[in-house]
A and B are shown apart, each in its own frame.
Chain A
Amino acid sequence: MGLPNVSEDLSSEMEVDAFRRLFPLRYFERHLAESIRPDGRPLGKARETSIFLGAVASANGSALVKIGSTTILTAIKMEVMTPSLESPDEGCLAIDFHMPPICSPIVRPGRPAEASPVVSKQLSDTISSSKMIDLKELSLVSGKAAWMAYLDIYCLDADGALFDAALLSAVASLSHLQIPVVAMNDDGKIVLVSEEDGQKREQEPVNKEKRKLTLRSIPFSLTCILHKNYILADPTAEEESIMETHVTVVLDTSGQLISLYKPGGPVLAYTSAIQDCAALTRQRVKELKSFLDKANSAMEVE
């Protein structure tokens, strides 16, 4: 008969779900003993990743990145500023990570989420340490005008490994960035040169050549969880909340270590564990590099 089987299956599902909710750590450890995770991934595998460039039409550069369910949207707006006296030939990058209340049940409107400034600082440090961008390329007129690139990074869905997705999104949007052509008018102010007025061009563009930023060594990151003797790559939000020791390794495309971040946790970071994390990250960097190249070449075709 069909009926008893149906009720048995249903009660089994309910029992598994109850076990997961009541004893989450034991539930995960039962999976780890079999070298698998509740979502079916092996321990060292990252979730499915996709990059979509040009998601925001009104921005100068933008990218939408999904790693599993984690969704990050980055947009770059270029504005003109007067450079400082210490560095008259350099522009600026202003990186801000936002967690609006739509992305997680924990975030409330009004005060910013606790994780926001941490990720902002991590991103700023990583991008400046990697020397991916030469700030001199953002200069327009020495001492008078330079670009200020505002990178606004929004988390649309928070499901773990936010920094990894945010860094990938920032890097992708910088590779997509199209700097507008500008000229200096009689008042000494920077104005856009529209292509419609090509024939009546009064001012000479000051940045005719520099429309794209040169990205030197590109940083990519991978967050891992250390738990007893296990290393879990690219954790979900549930895994992050249950197991406490996180390690984030950032490497660039030339294999150089840019950043190592371990915010506490009970598991000690032995050399062997760090080396294993770095090895997983090295593998991940190759994956992400090919994803980014694929996305950029797709944009060029369009």
Chain B
Amino acid sequence: MAGKGGATPATYSPSPTTNRKKKPPIFKEDWVRPDGRGFHQCRPAFFRTGAVNAASGSAYAEFGNTKVIVSVFGPRESKKAMMYSDIGRLNCNVSFTTFATPIRGQGSDHKEYCAMLHKALEGAIILETFPKTTVDVFALVLESSGSDLPVVISCASLALADAGIMMYDIVASVSVSCFNKNLVIDPILEEEIGQDGSLMITCMPSRYEITQLTVTGEWSTTKINEGMQLCLDACAKLAKIMRSCLKEVASDSQE
């Protein structure tokens, strides 16, 4: 056996030599973000549909170093144990690869992401169009580099569109981090670690409706409003990118 028999020995990742403590970055006027972005600038977004051939619909998304792949199966027969339902069911699952985080195996305890993804998509899908059946949405985070859940939600809505599930609108999601009194949009992992609070918005940009709003930490009302506006503007831009991705696929198939 290449692997060690019996119990796995205790291992640890070699850490850097520098003994400086990992203090969260104190926000200063001349502070620059680690990747050189402006405070209100998102990471470059890349989307591609049809990433998994075996699925009814699928999509792959990259936001900087955050990489996500989502598959949609169905509408298909619900499990026998489930009771009759006039409307369709939505089933979501989010998991991380063991190598997604810098330290191996640390990314697997985001149990709440499944429920949050479900709530985010439920409001946008027309469930009446597939009664008695279930649509399964499975997401896998290949690399985690901050703001994972918004990327998963945006990618999942693209995968649903690829599968031909009827929706009111595309769902786009963006988050901001709060440092003292300053807002930073689309935070990366280093920024998320030291944040005072975060705000995530999932919305349908064309209808200007929010399907999910999550706030953590302490926020004043004016700051929440400012953060929301920031996110909504970013979601509108993101939705344009997503629509152009779908249009590309449609025009390709026509040729």
Contact = CB atoms under 8 A, between A and B. Distances in A.
Interface of A: 56-59, 62, 69, 71, 73, 75, 77-82, 84, 92-96, 98, 100-105, 109, 124-125, 127-128, 133, 148, 150, 152, 154, 156-159, 180, 182-183, 185, 190-194, 197, 202-203, 237
B3 A75 contact: no
Select the residue from A100, A133, A152 with max chain B CB neighbours within 10 A.
A100
Nearest to B95: A100
Interface in B31-72: 51-55, 58, 65, 69-71
B113 to A, nearest CB: 12
A102 B58 contact: yes
Interface in B140-180: 140, 142-143
Interface stretch (B12-20, B81-89, B203-211): B12-20
B136 interface: yes
Interface stretch (B98-106, B122-130, B236-244, B247-255): B98-106
Nearest to A82: B9
Contact of A152 (B8, B9, B97): B97
A105 B142 contact: no
B11 interface: yes
A102 B69 contact: yes
B18 A103 contact: no
Contacts of B99: 56, 58-59, 62, 75, 77, 150, 152
Contacts of B98: 77, 96, 98, 150, 152
Contact of B97 (A133, A154, A194): A154
Contacts of B52: 71, 102-103, 156-157
Given A102-B69, A125-B1, A192 B9 contact: no
B93 interface: yes
A56 B8 CA distance: 24
Given A69-B53, A101-B71, A103-B71, A84 B138 contact: no
A109 B54 contact: no
How many B residues are at the interface, by size bracket? 35 or more
Contact of B4 (A73, A84, A100, A152): A84
B9 A156 contact: no
A192 B104 CA distance: 16
Contacts of B55: 102, 105
Given A77-B99, A105-B55, A156-B140, 7 more contacts: A73-B97, A100-B138, A101-B138, A103-B54, A109-B95, A128-B2, A148-B9
B10 interface: yes
B232 interface: no
A232 B12 CA distance: 45
A-B pairs, 5 with minimum CB distance: A102-B71, A79-B11, A69-B53, A75-B99, A101-B138
Contact of A183 (B17, B54, B101, B138): B17
Contacts of B138: 100-102, 109
Nearest to A180: B14
Nearest to B145: A58
B13 A79 contact: yes
Contacts of B9: 81-82, 84, 92, 148
Contacts of A81: 9-11
Contacts of B101: 58
B16 A194 contact: yes
Interface string B219-234: 0000000000000000
B1 A124 contact: yes
B57 to A, nearest CB: 11
